[in-house]
Homo-oligomer: A and B are copies of this chain.
Amino acid sequence: MNTFGDKFKLSIFGESHGEGIGVVMDGVPPGIALSEADFEADLARRRSGAKGTTPRKESDKPRILSGVFNGFTTGAPLAVTFTNDNTRSADYSNLVTHPRPSHADWVASKKYKGFQDYRGGGHFSGRLTLTLVTAGVVAKKILGGIQITSKITTLGGVTDEGRFDEVVQRAVKELDSIGGIIECTATGVPVGLGDPFFGSIESVMSHLLFSIPAIKGVEFGNGFAAAALKGSENNDPIISADGTTATNNSGGINGGITNGNPIVVRVAVKPTASIAKEQMSLNTETGQVEPMSVHGRHDACIALRAPVVVEAAVAIALAQF
């Protein structure tokens, strides 16, 4: 489903090469100053342009259709749409019968019985993350004092930020792609957000993070590393009446509930499935496994554009409480 949330509810729509894409946000409190210009900073962070990102350039100009009046949110649903300007649909037509490995091409054909819009990945396109970033801008405004930042900690297996450019360049040259790990931190989080079990911060946040195409892992605080520690090493001693802990191995969450320390979450971004390098895949017309190389315009490293998307997911999650 393409709807998420309770207190701050999103409904997203659109395809990579369709008429337009957008998001409807319900539950936005009245009285928040908002204009189309407010989206630009985060949209720019998501936009392509750097080495390793797709040569497709989109203006990404948001249009507020409803929910803002005289410069402030009204409390009514906030709809923001975008047009798709820079589309080259001819690039994709062969993928219906010769589906890309590890892409949604094949499952989409099966699930939607051939009626799916296959151009540019259609509704499965990473272009839809534009709607998440848009909602993230609004969520951040709703959250007020909470600060959300993110950074790439690993790229193509390299942790030295000084070498990131190098590994990206190599992937581009090899007609291949690379993945990365992004860490996101939220500070200024009040104590008590979240609920036990199905309403845990980890549950709601991971739900949103795994909605981002290409995310294959999510961990909080020490995450997978905690599994190798002892309780005496991993536990965070409480050292102050406001809940401050000496360490933050829990990533700011206990029992599914925020404890006032920074929320720390990391996500694994897999290497982009679409690569120009030759790879094998079944051709459903010939019935043979045949070599293919993906033409069209792609990101050699989608992780470069993902930090702001991850922030958006974190903000949207926190805006539910």
Q: Which residues of A approach B to under 8 Å, CB–CB?
A: 1-4, 6, 9-15, 18-22, 24, 26-27, 30-31, 63-67, 69, 72-79, 81, 99-104, 106-108, 110-113, 115-117, 119, 122-124, 128, 154, 156-157, 171, 174, 176-181, 191-192, 195-200, 202-204, 206-211, 213, 215-241, 243, 245-246, 249-251, 254-259, 268-275, 277, 279-282, 284, 287, 289, 303
Contacts and interface: CB of A to CB of B under 8 A. Distances in A.
Contacts of A303: 227
Nearest to A250: B102
Contacts of A67: 13
Given A103-B255, A123-B196, A236-B102, A268 B230 contact: no
A24 B115 CA distance: 19
A122 B74 contact: yes
Nearest to A115: B30
Nearest to A214: B226
28 contacts: A2-B24, A2-B26, A2-B76, A2-B77, A2-B199, A3-B26, A11-B77, A14-B79, A15-B69, A15-B76, A19-B63, A75-B112, A81-B81, A102-B234, A110-B243, A124-B255, A157-B227, A176-B231, A180-B227, A198-B207, A200-B211, A202-B215, A203-B210, A217-B224, A217-B227, A227-B303, A231-B273, A232-B279
A107 B228 contact: no
Given A107-B255, A220-B217, A227-B270, A9 B15 contact: no
Given A156-B230, A217-B224, A231-B272, 11 more contacts: A1-B197, A13-B78, A20-B66, A30-B115, A110-B243, A111-B257, A174-B230, A178-B229, A219-B219, A231-B273, A237-B281
Contacts of A235: 100-102, 273, 275, 279
A216 B220 contact: yes
Contact of A231 (B19, B65, B258, B271): B271
Given A228-B157, A271-B226, A113 B31 contact: yes
Contacts of A20: 65-66, 79
A115 to B, nearest CB: 4
Contacts of A259: 106-107
Nearest to A14: B66
A1 B154 contact: no
B207 A216 contact: no
Number of copies: 4
Given A79-B22, A207-B206, A289-B239, A177 B231 contact: yes
A108 B30 CA distance: 11
A31 B115 contact: yes
A234 B271 contact: yes
A229 B181 CA distance: 12
A210 B200 contact: yes
Given A30-B116, A203-B210, A24 B11 contact: yes
Nearest to A243: B106
Contacts of A246: 280
Given A65-B22, A107-B192, A207-B206, A76 B117 contact: yes
